[in-house]
Amino acid sequence: MLIAVDRRGRAPPSPADRLSGGSPADIRNRPRSPGAVRSGDTVLLNLNQLRVFYTAAREGSYSRAAQALFITQPAVSQNIKALETYYGVGLFQKSGRSMELTQAGRILYEYAKRIFEVAEEAEQAIRELGSLDRGEVRVGTTKIYARYLMPSIINAFRMRYPAVAVVLDEGSSEQLVRSVENLSNHLAVVGRIPYPSRLRTQHYRQVELTLIAGANHRLTARRPVSWRDLEGRPLILREAGSGSRRAATERLAQEGVKPQVVMESGSVDFIKRFVAEGRALAFLWEPDIREELAAGRLVAIPLVEGALTLETDVVLLADAYKSPAVRAFLRVLEESITAEWSLLPR
Protein backbone atom coordinates (compact mmCIF):
# COMPACT_ATOMS: atom_id res chain seq x y z
CA MET A 1 0.00 0.00 0.00
CA LEU A 2 1.30 3.48 -0.85
CA ILE A 3 0.62 6.87 0.71
CA ALA A 4 1.35 10.24 -0.89
CA VAL A 5 3.56 12.62 1.10
CA ASP A 6 3.83 16.19 -0.23
CA ARG A 7 7.43 17.35 -0.84
CA ARG A 8 6.81 20.76 -2.44
CA GLY A 9 9.16 23.45 -1.22
CA ARG A 10 6.21 25.79 -0.58
CA ALA A 11 4.51 23.35 1.79
CA PRO A 12 5.03 23.33 5.57
CA PRO A 13 7.68 20.91 6.83
CA SER A 14 6.60 17.33 6.37
CA PRO A 15 7.09 14.51 8.90
CA ALA A 16 10.20 13.50 6.96
CA ASP A 17 11.63 17.01 7.29
CA ARG A 18 11.14 16.84 11.04
CA LEU A 19 12.70 13.39 11.18
CA SER A 20 15.81 14.32 9.21
CA GLY A 21 16.17 18.02 9.83
CA GLY A 22 16.90 18.48 6.12
CA SER A 23 15.34 20.86 3.63
CA PRO A 24 12.95 19.66 0.92
CA ALA A 25 15.74 19.99 -1.65
CA ASP A 26 18.06 17.85 0.49
CA ILE A 27 15.39 15.21 0.85
CA ARG A 28 14.70 15.10 -2.90
CA ASN A 29 18.36 14.45 -3.56
CA ARG A 30 18.68 11.60 -1.08
CA PRO A 31 18.68 7.97 -2.26
CA ARG A 32 15.18 6.56 -2.12
CA SER A 33 14.32 3.34 -0.35
CA PRO A 34 13.28 0.42 -2.58
CA GLY A 35 9.66 0.90 -1.49
CA ALA A 36 9.44 4.61 -2.21
CA VAL A 37 8.23 5.85 -5.59
CA ARG A 38 8.65 9.41 -6.85
CA SER A 39 6.19 11.17 -9.17
CA GLY A 40 7.13 14.80 -9.84
CA ASP A 41 7.48 16.49 -6.46
CA THR A 42 5.48 13.81 -4.67
CA VAL A 43 7.07 10.83 -2.94
CA LEU A 44 4.96 7.76 -2.30
CA LEU A 45 5.82 6.11 0.99
CA ASN A 46 5.41 2.35 1.25
CA LEU A 47 2.90 1.73 4.02
CA ASN A 48 3.99 -1.88 4.35
CA GLN A 49 7.45 -0.70 5.43
CA LEU A 50 5.84 1.77 7.81
CA ARG A 51 3.74 -1.01 9.33
CA VAL A 52 6.84 -3.14 9.88
CA PHE A 53 8.52 -0.24 11.65
CA TYR A 54 5.41 0.50 13.71
CA THR A 55 5.06 -3.13 14.78
CA ALA A 56 8.75 -3.41 15.72
CA ALA A 57 8.53 -0.21 17.75
CA ARG A 58 5.35 -1.35 19.47
CA GLU A 59 6.71 -4.82 20.25
CA GLY A 60 10.16 -3.53 21.16
CA SER A 61 11.80 -6.33 19.21
CA TYR A 62 12.51 -7.31 15.61
CA SER A 63 11.85 -10.96 16.39
CA ARG A 64 8.45 -10.30 18.01
CA ALA A 65 7.55 -8.01 15.11
CA ALA A 66 8.41 -10.82 12.69
CA GLN A 67 6.14 -13.20 14.62
CA ALA A 68 3.28 -10.66 14.72
CA LEU A 69 3.54 -9.99 10.97
CA PHE A 70 4.25 -13.58 9.93
CA ILE A 71 7.47 -12.62 8.15
CA THR A 72 11.14 -13.42 8.81
CA GLN A 73 13.35 -11.34 11.09
CA PRO A 74 15.70 -10.47 8.18
CA ALA A 75 12.63 -9.11 6.33
CA VAL A 76 11.87 -6.86 9.32
CA SER A 77 15.46 -5.59 9.31
CA GLN A 78 15.36 -4.99 5.55
CA ASN A 79 12.14 -2.96 5.70
CA ILE A 80 13.34 -0.80 8.56
CA LYS A 81 16.70 -0.26 6.85
CA ALA A 82 14.82 0.88 3.74
CA LEU A 83 12.92 3.46 5.82
CA GLU A 84 16.13 4.70 7.42
CA THR A 85 17.66 5.10 3.98
CA TYR A 86 14.57 6.92 2.77
CA TYR A 87 14.59 9.39 5.67
CA GLY A 88 18.36 9.56 6.01
CA VAL A 89 18.22 8.98 9.76
CA GLY A 90 18.42 6.09 12.20
CA LEU A 91 15.12 4.97 13.70
CA PHE A 92 16.36 2.48 16.33
CA GLN A 93 19.40 2.34 18.59
CA LYS A 94 20.65 -0.49 20.80
CA SER A 95 20.81 -0.05 24.55
CA GLY A 96 22.46 -3.16 25.94
CA ARG A 97 20.27 -6.05 24.91
CA SER A 98 17.23 -3.88 24.36
CA MET A 99 16.28 -1.73 21.39
CA GLU A 100 15.11 1.86 21.73
CA LEU A 101 13.69 4.41 19.34
CA THR A 102 15.80 7.38 18.38
CA GLN A 103 14.27 10.86 18.48
CA ALA A 104 13.41 10.48 14.80
CA GLY A 105 11.98 7.04 15.51
CA ARG A 106 9.74 8.39 18.27
CA ILE A 107 8.38 11.09 15.95
CA LEU A 108 7.73 8.60 13.16
CA TYR A 109 6.11 6.19 15.59
CA GLU A 110 3.55 8.79 16.70
CA TYR A 111 2.60 9.50 13.08
CA ALA A 112 2.47 5.80 12.23
CA LYS A 113 0.29 5.10 15.25
CA ARG A 114 -2.23 7.72 14.12
CA ILE A 115 -2.19 6.42 10.54
CA PHE A 116 -2.92 2.82 11.53
CA GLU A 117 -5.51 3.78 14.14
CA VAL A 118 -7.41 5.71 11.46
CA ALA A 119 -6.97 2.81 9.03
CA GLU A 120 -8.46 0.45 11.62
CA GLU A 121 -11.38 2.82 12.22
CA ALA A 122 -12.03 2.95 8.47
CA GLU A 123 -11.94 -0.84 8.22
CA GLN A 124 -14.30 -1.18 11.17
CA ALA A 125 -16.72 1.33 9.66
CA ILE A 126 -16.80 -0.56 6.36
CA ARG A 127 -17.34 -3.86 8.19
CA GLU A 128 -20.24 -2.34 10.09
CA LEU A 129 -21.80 -1.12 6.85
CA GLY A 130 -21.52 -4.59 5.37
CA SER A 131 -23.08 -6.19 8.44
CA LEU A 132 -25.77 -3.46 8.63
CA ASP A 133 -24.60 -2.38 12.08
CA ARG A 134 -24.65 1.18 10.78
CA GLY A 135 -25.58 3.05 7.61
CA GLU A 136 -28.38 4.95 5.97
CA VAL A 137 -30.83 4.42 3.13
CA ARG A 138 -32.56 7.40 1.52
CA VAL A 139 -35.91 6.55 -0.02
CA GLY A 140 -38.10 8.76 -2.17
CA THR A 141 -41.78 8.04 -2.68
CA THR A 142 -44.97 9.64 -3.87
CA LYS A 143 -47.31 11.29 -1.40
CA ILE A 144 -49.78 8.41 -1.70
CA TYR A 145 -47.18 5.80 -0.74
CA ALA A 146 -45.66 8.03 1.92
CA ARG A 147 -49.03 8.10 3.70
CA TYR A 148 -50.21 4.52 3.31
CA LEU A 149 -47.41 2.20 2.25
CA MET A 150 -44.08 3.35 3.63
CA PRO A 151 -44.93 3.46 7.35
CA SER A 152 -45.39 -0.32 7.51
CA ILE A 153 -42.43 -1.03 5.21
CA ILE A 154 -40.07 1.24 7.13
CA ASN A 155 -41.27 -0.21 10.44
CA ALA A 156 -40.54 -3.73 9.18
CA PHE A 157 -37.09 -2.64 7.98
CA ARG A 158 -36.27 -0.93 11.29
CA MET A 159 -37.37 -3.98 13.26
CA ARG A 160 -34.90 -6.05 11.27
CA TYR A 161 -32.07 -3.50 10.98
CA PRO A 162 -32.40 -1.06 13.91
CA ALA A 163 -28.92 0.43 13.40
CA VAL A 164 -29.66 1.59 9.83
CA ALA A 165 -31.34 4.96 9.49
CA VAL A 166 -34.08 5.51 6.91
CA VAL A 167 -34.58 8.98 5.44
CA LEU A 168 -37.93 9.36 3.66
CA ASP A 169 -38.44 11.97 0.97
CA GLU A 170 -41.73 12.62 -0.80
CA GLY A 171 -42.67 14.47 -3.96
CA SER A 172 -43.97 14.04 -7.47
CA SER A 173 -42.71 11.15 -9.57
CA GLU A 174 -40.71 13.52 -11.74
CA GLN A 175 -39.07 15.18 -8.73
CA LEU A 176 -38.17 11.82 -7.21
CA VAL A 177 -36.65 10.48 -10.41
CA ARG A 178 -34.40 13.55 -10.49
CA SER A 179 -33.51 12.99 -6.85
CA VAL A 180 -32.23 9.52 -7.69
CA GLU A 181 -30.26 10.86 -10.65
CA ASN A 182 -28.55 13.54 -8.55
CA LEU A 183 -27.89 11.06 -5.70
CA SER A 184 -30.16 12.79 -3.18
CA ASN A 185 -32.01 9.48 -2.79
CA HIS A 186 -30.74 5.93 -3.17
CA LEU A 187 -34.02 4.73 -4.65
CA ALA A 188 -37.58 5.89 -5.24
CA VAL A 189 -41.01 4.30 -5.61
CA VAL A 190 -42.89 6.35 -8.20
CA GLY A 191 -45.84 6.41 -10.55
CA ARG A 192 -44.66 5.44 -14.01
CA ILE A 193 -43.34 8.25 -16.20
CA PRO A 194 -40.65 8.26 -18.89
CA TYR A 195 -37.35 7.39 -17.20
CA PRO A 196 -33.79 8.36 -18.12
CA SER A 197 -31.95 5.42 -19.68
CA ARG A 198 -29.29 5.35 -16.97
CA LEU A 199 -31.82 4.38 -14.30
CA ARG A 200 -32.67 0.81 -13.45
CA THR A 201 -36.40 0.24 -13.06
CA GLN A 202 -38.56 -2.59 -11.80
CA HIS A 203 -42.33 -2.78 -11.78
CA TYR A 204 -43.62 -2.62 -8.22
CA ARG A 205 -47.40 -2.80 -8.27
CA GLN A 206 -50.53 -1.54 -9.97
CA VAL A 207 -52.70 1.07 -8.26
CA GLU A 208 -56.35 1.68 -9.17
CA LEU A 209 -57.52 5.30 -9.17
CA THR A 210 -61.18 5.98 -8.45
CA LEU A 211 -63.30 8.52 -10.30
CA ILE A 212 -65.02 10.64 -7.65
CA ALA A 213 -67.74 13.27 -7.61
CA GLY A 214 -69.67 15.27 -5.05
CA ALA A 215 -72.79 13.67 -3.61
CA ASN A 216 -75.09 15.86 -5.74
CA HIS A 217 -73.16 15.61 -9.01
CA ARG A 218 -75.32 14.62 -12.01
CA LEU A 219 -73.17 11.62 -12.91
CA THR A 220 -73.80 9.94 -9.57
CA ALA A 221 -77.32 9.12 -10.70
CA ARG A 222 -76.06 7.46 -13.87
CA ARG A 223 -73.60 5.02 -12.35
CA PRO A 224 -71.80 3.27 -13.95
CA VAL A 225 -70.75 5.73 -16.62
CA SER A 226 -68.65 5.56 -19.75
CA TRP A 227 -65.37 7.35 -20.26
CA ARG A 228 -67.19 9.20 -23.04
CA ASP A 229 -69.48 10.73 -20.41
CA LEU A 230 -66.49 12.75 -19.18
CA GLU A 231 -66.34 14.71 -22.43
CA GLY A 232 -66.35 18.44 -21.65
CA ARG A 233 -66.93 17.93 -17.91
CA PRO A 234 -64.89 19.87 -15.33
CA LEU A 235 -61.97 17.78 -14.09
CA ILE A 236 -59.15 18.41 -11.61
CA LEU A 237 -55.76 16.88 -12.44
CA ARG A 238 -52.79 16.31 -10.18
CA GLU A 239 -49.73 18.52 -10.45
CA ALA A 240 -47.26 18.43 -13.33
CA GLY A 241 -44.72 15.62 -12.91
CA SER A 242 -47.22 13.38 -11.13
CA GLY A 243 -47.48 9.77 -12.26
CA SER A 244 -51.25 9.72 -11.64
CA ARG A 245 -51.68 12.84 -13.78
CA ARG A 246 -49.81 11.18 -16.62
CA ALA A 247 -51.89 8.01 -16.26
CA ALA A 248 -55.11 10.06 -16.41
CA THR A 249 -54.14 12.15 -19.44
CA GLU A 250 -52.94 9.07 -21.35
CA ARG A 251 -56.13 7.12 -20.64
CA LEU A 252 -58.32 10.08 -21.60
CA ALA A 253 -56.43 10.39 -24.88
CA GLN A 254 -56.75 6.65 -25.44
CA GLU A 255 -60.52 6.88 -24.97
CA GLY A 256 -60.71 9.96 -27.20
CA VAL A 257 -62.17 12.09 -24.41
CA LYS A 258 -61.44 15.78 -23.78
CA PRO A 259 -62.72 16.94 -20.39
CA GLN A 260 -62.55 20.53 -19.24
CA VAL A 261 -59.46 20.68 -17.02
CA VAL A 262 -60.38 23.43 -14.57
CA MET A 263 -57.47 23.09 -12.17
CA GLU A 264 -54.23 21.31 -11.28
CA SER A 265 -53.29 20.66 -7.68
CA GLY A 266 -50.76 18.68 -5.68
CA SER A 267 -52.95 18.80 -2.58
CA VAL A 268 -55.21 15.79 -2.12
CA ASP A 269 -57.15 17.56 0.64
CA PHE A 270 -57.89 20.51 -1.61
CA ILE A 271 -59.00 18.24 -4.45
CA LYS A 272 -61.37 16.35 -2.14
CA ARG A 273 -62.96 19.53 -0.79
CA PHE A 274 -63.32 21.03 -4.27
CA VAL A 275 -64.92 17.87 -5.65
CA ALA A 276 -67.23 17.53 -2.61
CA GLU A 277 -68.68 20.93 -3.45
CA GLY A 278 -69.77 19.55 -6.82
CA ARG A 279 -67.46 21.74 -8.87
CA ALA A 280 -65.50 19.04 -10.68
CA LEU A 281 -64.57 15.39 -10.98
CA ALA A 282 -61.21 13.87 -10.04
CA PHE A 283 -59.26 10.61 -9.92
CA LEU A 284 -57.84 9.68 -6.51
CA TRP A 285 -56.55 6.54 -4.79
CA GLU A 286 -59.22 4.80 -2.71
CA PRO A 287 -57.37 4.96 0.64
CA ASP A 288 -57.23 8.74 0.25
CA ILE A 289 -61.03 9.02 0.00
CA ARG A 290 -62.18 6.17 2.22
CA GLU A 291 -63.42 8.43 5.01
CA GLU A 292 -65.26 10.79 2.64
CA LEU A 293 -66.91 7.86 0.83
CA ALA A 294 -68.11 6.40 4.10
CA ALA A 295 -69.51 9.76 5.20
CA GLY A 296 -71.24 10.33 1.88
CA ARG A 297 -69.35 13.53 1.09
CA LEU A 298 -67.86 11.91 -2.01
CA VAL A 299 -69.21 9.26 -4.35
CA ALA A 300 -67.21 6.71 -6.34
CA ILE A 301 -68.30 6.41 -9.97
CA PRO A 302 -67.48 3.11 -11.71
CA LEU A 303 -66.44 3.24 -15.36
CA VAL A 304 -67.91 0.73 -17.78
CA GLU A 305 -64.71 0.31 -19.80
CA GLY A 306 -62.61 -0.26 -16.70
CA ALA A 307 -61.04 1.85 -13.98
CA LEU A 308 -58.01 4.09 -14.38
CA THR A 309 -54.87 2.25 -13.29
CA LEU A 310 -51.45 3.56 -12.40
CA GLU A 311 -48.34 1.41 -12.69
CA THR A 312 -45.70 2.12 -10.06
CA ASP A 313 -42.00 1.29 -10.26
CA VAL A 314 -38.87 1.22 -8.16
CA VAL A 315 -36.12 3.32 -9.74
CA LEU A 316 -32.45 3.49 -8.77
CA LEU A 317 -28.97 3.78 -10.23
CA ALA A 318 -26.97 0.61 -10.80
CA ASP A 319 -24.36 1.66 -8.21
CA ALA A 320 -27.02 1.76 -5.50
CA TYR A 321 -27.03 -2.06 -5.47
CA LYS A 322 -23.53 -1.90 -3.96
CA SER A 323 -24.95 -0.56 -0.70
CA PRO A 324 -25.85 -3.35 1.75
CA ALA A 325 -28.48 -1.07 3.32
CA VAL A 326 -30.14 -0.45 -0.06
CA ARG A 327 -30.15 -4.15 -0.89
CA ALA A 328 -31.71 -4.92 2.49
CA PHE A 329 -34.41 -2.30 1.97
CA LEU A 330 -35.20 -3.70 -1.47
CA ARG A 331 -35.69 -7.13 0.07
CA VAL A 332 -38.15 -5.75 2.61
CA LEU A 333 -39.91 -3.84 -0.15
CA GLU A 334 -40.15 -7.01 -2.19
CA GLU A 335 -41.70 -8.84 0.74
CA SER A 336 -44.47 -6.23 0.90
CA ILE A 337 -46.08 -7.51 -2.29
CA THR A 338 -47.14 -10.92 -3.53
CA ALA A 339 -45.88 -10.60 -7.12
CA GLU A 340 -43.11 -13.07 -7.89
CA TRP A 341 -40.26 -10.86 -9.00
CA SER A 342 -37.00 -9.78 -7.46
CA LEU A 343 -35.62 -6.29 -7.22
CA LEU A 344 -32.12 -7.61 -6.75
CA PRO A 345 -29.78 -8.22 -9.69
CA ARG A 346 -29.00 -11.86 -10.45
Q: Which CATH architecture has domain 2-130?
A: Orthogonal Bundle (1.10)
User: Which tens digits make up the pLDDT trace of 143-175?
Assistant: 888 888 899 899 999 999 998 999 999 999 999
pLDDT category at 210 given cuts 50, 70, 90 is very high
Q: Name the nearest CA neighbour of 309 among 251, 258, 230.
A: 251
Q: What mean pLDDT is predicted for residues 177-198?
A: 94
The domains of the chain are located at 2-130, 136-203+312-335, 206-310
Q: Name the nearest CA neighbour of 121 among 46, 325, 59, 113.
A: 113
Q: What mean pLDDT is predicted for residues 195-221?
A: 93
At residue 166, φ and ψ (nearest 5 deg) are -115, 125
Q: Is the pTM of this model over 0.85?
A: no
User: Which tens digits make up the pLDDT trace of 235-259?
Assistant: 999 999 999 999 999 999 999 999 9
The two domains 2-130 and 136-203+312-335 share their CATH topology (first three levels equal): no
Q: Which helix (H) or strand (E) holds 287?
A: helix 286-295
Length of the chain: 346
Q: Is the pLDDT of residue 21 over 60?
A: no
Q: Which CATH architecture has domain 206-310?
A: 3-Layer(aba) Sandwich (3.40)
Q: How far is CA 307 from the centre of its chain?
A: 36
What pLDDT score does 124 carry?
74
What pLDDT score does 22 carry?
46
What pLDDT score does 197 carry?
92
What pLDDT score does 130 carry?
67
State the CATH class of domain 136-203+312-335.
alpha beta
Q: Which helix (H) or strand (E) holds 315?
A: strand 308-317
What pLDDT score does 131 carry?
64
pLDDT category at 338 given cuts 50, 70, 90 is low
